[in-house]
Structure 1
């Protein structure tokens, strides 16, 4: 999608500079750092900063070498990788699985607190900056972000699996109660809690880039915790871990997507089962297509392809609704929503201390999902940050938590409800009525559509949808990784982007080899282990965000407003009873009625963040009256970046 006319930040630049001049006039006789009171700073956009982008060679070298070494190990000795990762998985889930559960639950609560607190009014951009996209376009892109490989792969499979083999103690398998319970369990894994993990990263990136003027890197979000620059070994470790997590998380989707495409090819062509051979060939082929896209720069074509795929995906959902058990689905949807919220505490409350059956369920499903979403968080977070510029924190949180979640829950109800209905009515999906008799996960979608009128002709269409998702996912994720390894460069060098594409493809191949006939085993082993470090970073990002929000110009103004009104009313009643009006006049400190008497707004706690710097990070004078640096340069005059299309394909 293209940036809408008049909606970009550039169209507000002159008006915002005028606001800066008015702010400067208010305090021109007062000596404040950087010549402006912190309550009057309109914000700092990353485009207005002097930033020297370039390849971060230590990150590319260390992370790249590690990934290449892992791929070689996985190809030469997948059994060894499986054994080591299996042991690591067991240790992580037993000892640190609570970290993922805490993250999924805590971030949802934390974000809702921010949304409905005084911080909810803070814009993700400069004061008065218009929203970069209209509400309709924004909702459409959030909708697109929730559609992808994962829904097609897990949509019919996961609810049916929970129906036949539920979380121990939640409900009896294969019962009427299990119908709603199974879809509610899937909704938990893909709904609000999942998007809370994405949203916290996206919110942090949007705030520091469009409100605080720092590059969109995970390390720059965390700088308030150590009052330093986003450089050095610590920052590189943080950004490197983000790249690691994104590579493995995205590769997991590419792996299962290739597996499902391969099974579709086997069914359509009639060649029979061939193991992972065709899947690996598909990975290589589609990766070549992705590289062509990355090298040729046909991003606009990829965006159009994404939009076409979105239409095809919606059409697929409509097919399930119309041709499938329409009445059953209409009746079950309200019950699933009620069950989702009603059983959420019990589902989230399950822990590794609840016995071996619960441990097995959490390892295979809930903990694995939380880890997978953590690994996707840098990728999806950067995307939702890009499309949400100019919106308030309240709008961002409610939109990102509720819109994609609603879409995904609806999709899982359509696909999963259809597979459960077929099992209850005909018993042909799982022949003996147990989870053990289910077909391979990558085959279930084809088994389900084959039992629907006209469903057989959909198999080629599903293959096309999955192939497009593969390319758009690999293309977009590699672009984000390339930006993170090039100091946040909005126009990363293409050879580095291609390198990350190849790395993702290599990891996807290893995931298939490690899992052998059970690809989900490879996913669970590698994703849960590699996502753990970044889950700790996400918690740190939330803490850093709160620290900065407390000193946001709007929060300072809000505090002044409350103090001024409270003291004015108190003094007015004391001195004049019922008949008095408010007036504005200076006072000589100290004065008990002075607004802001308790604050030292010239302290670096309030002022250091908007000190402008040159490309080397050295302080540079900046004139808020003219919106220019002291040497006359004007970064705002440079060309602006358009936002990439929807990063789809979970």
Structure 2
């Protein structure tokens, strides 16, 4: 099941997803009012302020990008320089803080709080939950960077570390790649997903980012202008983060067409725009015709194809090297973790700042921009889980998937580079196909890879547009078709503009705008952590524990004061108390 399918078809743990896509409603939670109810036949009510403001600003951006691309590019570079110079440290510090915060919640007394009623069972079986978490961990990003990132860090390690191409560079390459794709990004997702799940299923609030701020600002303000501003920022983050993924997909499909001889030697801007247009039309057709089953079938096929592709490279590639990389990469990751988490421009000047802009800070911004999308997805499938189960599952399962994926594709690429083939000289979007063409049936594998990216594009745009529709229509789980189509079409247009803004270095344009647009939402996430912590302190389960602890401590103090150590405790009902029959 994919993100899009789960968004349309959340189901009871013992029943298959319904064709209508009607979600099971959360049960009332102790300590909170009844959850928001949505009748199947009720038409969602569009929030005119949230949708209107977001739409106007986005359309203005599109007009700017179409009519004056050079101007937008110049402004983006100037703003990026300011963000990196003045706020690069903030991205680095915030990402690690989210990891610490998530682990703290899992290990603390809050870890046993359920995301639902006190006695509520998980909505999905553990096996299904794990499978959907695996689905969330796959996407265009792994397809694009599975070869490109380990190979780049092996050939050109981070400034001031080790010589490129050396044995030590292999260790640094895998450690840096895992740093960008394991605990840090999934802790970022976990924080937002947990806040949404707790607010929705435990407290019965609307399924909106802004609703999670109620304990800090109050229900009135979280539903008022401040809350609407937060939801607008969430739409912007989702829109540009998803558009970045779509832009990467277009670059990779273009490179695949070139590698397979389907087009000229140079992939120009026009072809990239055509690729985005075609795939966006595919998404719109799927949304208009309601072929949810078709998308579900394609997505399931996609997961199988990704597994087959990885298995093929594992069997025919340097299998022993890949197996050796599994424990080695984990060890290198934890050995280098402190240093990687603290890299800023102070440790390497302009060279380090440029490297961070292309890698670490870009990744943290990209993950932050995806948090409304992925956060809502993992929240929706995690009802009934405890906070500890949620955080451990969200952070570990996709991290293991990433470890396997990069060990296979990164190991294959580095092995080819070591053999004398200069794979690193190719563009990043070409390198995957350079690896595939090194093996038998390379042409077939390249077509499979392009098909994988295309389906990820369509299903990803579908799901992200549903999330933006939810944010635009007061938290509905069934946003109207026109709103979903609008955001999908806008997303494709933004992806094309991001490619055009980058000029000859299209990837740079994507990275620059993603960092700029994610910066405001990073501040939203920091405040969200404060709101979530305050919410958890007042949870009924925690308050009962506090009262019980206080009563026991008072009884012990009283007994010790009066009898010394010669006493015992006994529980008796108050006069007039009713016996509920529970032993």
Is TM-score (shorter-chain normalized) higher than 0.5? yes
1:216 aligns with 2:207: yes
Measured after TM superposition, the shift of residue 48 of structure 1 is 5.4
Question: Normalising by structure 2, what TM-score?
Answer: 0.91
Measured after TM superposition, the shift of residue 80 of structure 1 is 1.5
Q: How does 1:320-331 map to 2 (within 5 A)?
A: 320-331=313-324
Q: How does 1:51-130 map to 2 (within 5 A)?
A: 53-130=44-121
Q: CA–CA distance in 2 between the matches of 1:44 and 1:149?
A: 40
1:290 aligns with 2:321: no
Q: Are 1:92 and 1:529, in contact at CA under 8 Å, matched by a contact in 2?
A: yes
Q: CA–CA distance in 2 between the matches of 1:579 and 1:387?
A: 49
Which of these residues, 312, 320, 327, is aligned with residue 319 of structure 1? Answer: 312
Q: How does 1:390-401 map to 2 (within 5 A)?
A: 390-401=384-395
**More displaced 10-residue stretch of structure 1: 47-56 or 130-139:** 47-56
Q: Are 2:259 and 2:430, in contact at CA under 8 Å, matched by a contact in 1?
A: no
Q: Are 1:245 and 1:376, in contact at CA under 8 Å, matched by a contact in 2?
A: yes
Which of these residues, 314, 332, 338, is aligned with residue 331 of structure 2? Answer: 338
Q: 1:49 to 1:428 in 2, by over 3 A?
A: closer
Q: How does 1:202-601 map to 2 (within 5 A)?
A: 202-229=193-220, 230-272=222-264, 273-354=266-347, 355-430=349-424, 438-575=425-562, 578=566, 580-586=568-574
Task: Classify the secondary structure of the residue corresponding to 1:46.
Answer: coil
Q: CA–CA distance in 1 between the matches of 2:13 and 2:150?
A: 43
Measured after TM superposition, the shift of residue 126 of structure 1 is 1.0
* Uncovered stretches (5+) of structure 1, i.e. residues with no partner: 21-40, 431-437, 589-650
Alignment-derived partner of residue 141 in structure 1: 132
Q: Are 1:479 and 1:492, in contact at CA under 8 Å, matched by a contact in 2?
A: yes
Question: Normalising by structure 1, what TM-score?
Answer: 0.82
Measured after TM superposition, the shift of residue 82 of structure 1 is 1.1
Q: Are 2:99 and 2:184, in contact at CA under 8 Å, matched by a contact in 1?
A: yes
Q: Are 2:11 and 2:24, in contact at CA under 8 Å, matched by a contact in 1?
A: no
**More displaced 10-residue stretch of structure 1: 530-539 or 275-284:** 275-284
Q: Which structure has the larger Rg over C-alpha atoms?
A: 1
Alignment-derived partner of residue 152 in structure 2: 161
Deviation sequence 1:180-228 (CA, Å, 0-9, x none): 2101101111110011111100000000000011111111111222223
Q: CA–CA distance in 1 between the matches of 2:556 and 2:573?
A: 15
Measured after TM superposition, the shift of residue 7 of structure 1 is 7.6
Aligned alpha-carbon RMSD (Å): 2.2
Q: CA–CA distance in 2 between the matches of 1:581 and 1:267?
A: 78
Measured after TM superposition, the shift of residue 238 of structure 1 is 0.7
Q: Are 1:43 and 1:125, in contact at CA under 8 Å, matched by a contact in 2?
A: no
Q: Are 1:48 and 1:213, in contact at CA under 8 Å, matched by a contact in 2?
A: no
Alignment-derived partner of residue 618 in structure 1: none
Q: CA–CA distance in 2 between the matches of 1:44 and 1:309?
A: 41
Q: Are 2:91 and 2:361, in contact at CA under 8 Å, matched by a contact in 1?
A: yes
Deviation sequence 1:316-352 (CA, Å, 0-9, x none): 1111111111011111221111000110111111112
Q: CA–CA distance in 2 between the matches of 1:429 and 1:258?
A: 21
Task: Classify the secondary structure of the residue corresponding to 2:219.
Answer: coil
Task: Classify the secondary structure of the residue corresponding to 1:168.
Answer: coil
Q: CA–CA distance in 2 between the matches of 1:410 and 1:504?
A: 31
Q: CA–CA distance in 1 between the matches of 2:369 and 2:184?
A: 14
Measured after TM superposition, the shift of residue 267 of structure 1 is 2.8
Q: CA–CA distance in 1 between the matches of 2:448 and 2:536?
A: 47
* Uncovered stretches (5+) of structure 2, i.e. residues with no partner: 2-9, 17-22, 577-583
